[in-house]
Chains A and B, each alone.
Chain A
Amino acid sequence: MTTIRIDSVSRWFGNVVAVNDVTMAIGPGVTGLLGPNGAGKSTLINMMAGFLSPSTGAVTLDGVRIWRNEQVYKQIGLVPEREAMYDFLTGREFVLANAELHGLGADAARKALATVEMEYAQNRRISTYSKGMRQRVKMASALVHEPDVLLLDEPFNGMDPRQRMHLMDLLRQMGAAGRTVLFSSHILEEVEQLAAHIEVIVAGRHAASGDFRKIRRLMTDRPHHYAVRSSDDRALASALIADPSTAGLELDRRDGILHIQAVDFARFTELLPRVARDHGIRLYEVSPSDESLESVFSYLVAA
């Protein structure tokens, strides 16, 4: 049972605060680290992987400090986001070198390459690999010593759906086997499919923590904004405001747009078409006006 503990950790670069007073524990099983780009996910992973010192607070692996302690790598496997590898090596040479650096041999390398299904291209130079192939060889290099903890920074970037499914299966198996698997992603669906437990990080702060149902509910229960064009905006507005699922309406007469703020997502999406039909109003356009991931996440911070 291996647990990474992040305790009151902040990290700043000059005047920029990348991670702001985060406390969390990553235990056995698969955990998804979710957040928009630039939220501080990589900064957190780099600290967990021993490649960045926390400005304040402590990052430990079963109580042992990770920073400046190379012995932790006996237990940690890291799949970095960056593409750069030893491109002049073949996949097999690269994974073998990683095994040797752990004091292991060709058997471990062969096994790791088989796990990621890269045997077929193992004798090609890495410089000829596609992004998905690189990702898998990176994965093999991290698995070669069968680590208790696996840290993956945006592992699904650049993978095709089949490779994605394969990697998800692999991570699920590792989680089920009691290993501690943490991966970061900015895509909710990705995290939801794989992780029972989700940590959400937004603008350097720990925004939410829990299972994906709780996070999903938080995300769908937030106020939604819609821009609607219809054959009679005013009549539509007066009919909608009577229902508790709407919190605010604004009629933009110059552009002919009705702005709606809905507080009950499920109810509103059912209400709008029904009201329009009952009143004989034609809906020309219904578009969510505030669906950027950043706004979804920033709502979570406030929640």
Chain B
Amino acid sequence: MLYHPTVARLTQRAILGRRRALILLLLPVLLIVIAIVVRALVGADDEVTADLLGGFALATMVPLIGVIAGTGAIGPEIDDSSIVYLLAKPVPRPTIILTKLTVAVGVTAAFSALPTLVAGFILGGNGSRLAVAYALAAAVASVAYAAFFLMLGTISRHAVVFGLVYALVWEALLGSLVDGVKTLSIQQWALAVGEKIGQGGHVVSDVALPVATVLLVVVTAGATWFAAQRLRSLTLAGEE
């Protein structure tokens, strides 16, 4: 059994708790508002579409939502140790992690890939092709981000901080300055997948597709395996 509906229900309600849901909605709404304004002021322009979907949607929105959903799927439960109720059950730990991952991927994709697609269509023009390319990249990135940040959630109480450092400092800042860093960037790997579809030079990745695919699979599978191991030996030290 790879999926447990009860675990999924609990995880989903935890991630989409009132305040968290508002934060999750903030960026997608902003993206769509900008798309509407740009379309009204500039008209259909592939250059602008690529800037907005690549620079904002994929580079900023997807990782941030990935951090919230990925760490939120397990971090708070470990933090307040309410995860005891989940773990004191004869449910295989990999099942718990895979279920939480599924929910985290679903939430990340719903709040990032879907709005990217919608924004792309709003921007119009050749945008529909670009929209599909970026939305697919966002969906692919959602999987890897969710797995990676979920793992961070099982490792550290400060998973959100580390997640933000990775997304904003490593990928966004260092990734734009240091060439080598781009090879180790979920965003670039996802772009490589989008590039295949986007055609026409607006979707560009610094990593070749085969390498990107292998790295995406390795990171996603490795992080998930490691998170399950962490859960198997989760320790409660008590309050003494």
Minimum distance in angstroms from B17 CB to a CB of chain A: 6
How many chain-B residues does the 8 Å CB contact rule pick out?
A: 31
B18 nearest in chain A by CB position: A88
| Assembly CA distance A88 to B5 (angstroms) | 18
| Assembly CA distance A46 to B84 (angstroms) | 11
Chain B stretch 56-106: residues in CB contact (< 8 A) with chain A:
80-82, 84-93
Query: CB distance A43 to B240 under 8 Å?
Result: yes
Query: CB distance A51 to B84 under 8 Å?
Result: yes
Most A CB atoms within 10 A — which of B86, B238, B240? B238
Cβ of A191 < 8 Å from any Cβ of B? no
Minimum distance in angstroms from B8 CB to a CB of chain A: 11
Minimum distance in angstroms from A64 CB to a CB of chain B: 13
- Which of A51, A70, A71, A74 has a CB less than 8 Å from the CB of B236? A51
- Which of A45, A80, A85, A102 has a CB less than 8 Å from the CB of B89? A102
Binds B, one of A93-101, A172-180, A216-224: A93-101
Query: CB distance A70 to B89 under 8 Å?
Result: yes
User: What is the interface of chain B mostly: helix, strand, loop, or mixed?
Assistant: loop
Query: CB distance B90 to A74 under 8 Å?
Result: yes
Minimum distance in angstroms from A297 CB to a CB of chain B: 15
Chain A stretch 77-110: residues in CB contact (< 8 A) with chain B:
77-78, 80-82, 84-86, 88-89, 94, 97-98, 100-103
Query: CB distance B91 to A70 under 8 Å?
Result: yes
Query: CB distance B239 to A42 under 8 Å?
Result: yes
Residues of B with C-beta under 8 A to A84: 80-82
Query: CB distance B90 to A73 under 8 Å?
Result: yes
Cβ of A18 < 8 Å from any Cβ of B? yes
Residues of A with C-beta under 8 A to B232: 68
Chain B stretch 211-232: residues in CB contact (< 8 A) with chain A:
232
A138 nearest in chain B by CB position: B85
Query: CB distance B82 to A51 under 8 Å?
Result: no
Most B CB atoms within 10 A — which of A49, A86, A89? A86
Residues of A with C-beta under 8 A to B236: 46, 51-52, 80
Residues of B with C-beta under 8 A to A50: 88
| Assembly CA distance A51 to B237 (angstroms) | 8
How many chain-A residues does the 8 Å CB contact rule pick out?
A: 44
Cβ of B9 < 8 Å from any Cβ of A? yes
B84 nearest in chain A by CB position: A80
Chain B stretch 182-240: residues in CB contact (< 8 A) with chain A:
232-240
What sequence of 0s and 1s flags, for each residue 1-39 of chain B, a beta carbon within 8 Å of any chain A beta carbon? 000111101100110010000000000000000000000
B9 nearest in chain A by CB position: A97
Residues of A with C-beta under 8 A to B6: 97, 100-101
Query: CB distance B4 to A101 under 8 Å?
Result: yes
- Which of B17, B85, B238 has a CB less than 8 Å from the CB of A43? B238
| Contact A52-B235, Cβ < 8 Å, known A40-B240, A71-B90, A102-B90 | yes
B7 nearest in chain A by CB position: A101
Residues of B with C-beta under 8 A to A142: 88
Minimum distance in angstroms from B14 CB to a CB of chain A: 7
Cβ of A284 < 8 Å from any Cβ of B? no
| Assembly CA distance A88 to B20 (angstroms) | 13
Query: CB distance B90 to A70 under 8 Å?
Result: yes
| Contact A46-B238, Cβ < 8 Å, known A71-B90, A101-B86 | yes
| Assembly CA distance A45 to B84 (angstroms) | 13
B residues lining the A interface (CB < 8 Å): 4-7, 9-10, 13-14, 17, 80-82, 84-93, 232-240
A residues lining the B interface (CB < 8 Å): 13, 18, 37-43, 45-46, 49-53, 67-68, 70-74, 76-78, 80-82, 84-86, 88-89, 94, 97-98, 100-103, 141-142, 153
If A37-B240, A73-B90 are given as contacts, then 15 extra A-B residue pairs at C-beta distance below 8 Å, sorted by A number, are A13-B237, A38-B240, A42-B238, A43-B238, A46-B235, A73-B89, A80-B236, A82-B81, A94-B85, A97-B9, A98-B85, A98-B89, A101-B7, A102-B90, A142-B88
29 A-B pairs (CB sep. < 8 Å):
A13-B237, A45-B238, A50-B88, A51-B84, A51-B236, A52-B237, A52-B238, A67-B233, A70-B90, A70-B91, A70-B92, A70-B93, A71-B90, A72-B90, A73-B90, A74-B90, A80-B84, A80-B236, A82-B239, A86-B85, A89-B10, A97-B10, A97-B85, A98-B89, A100-B5, A100-B6, A101-B86, A101-B89, A141-B85
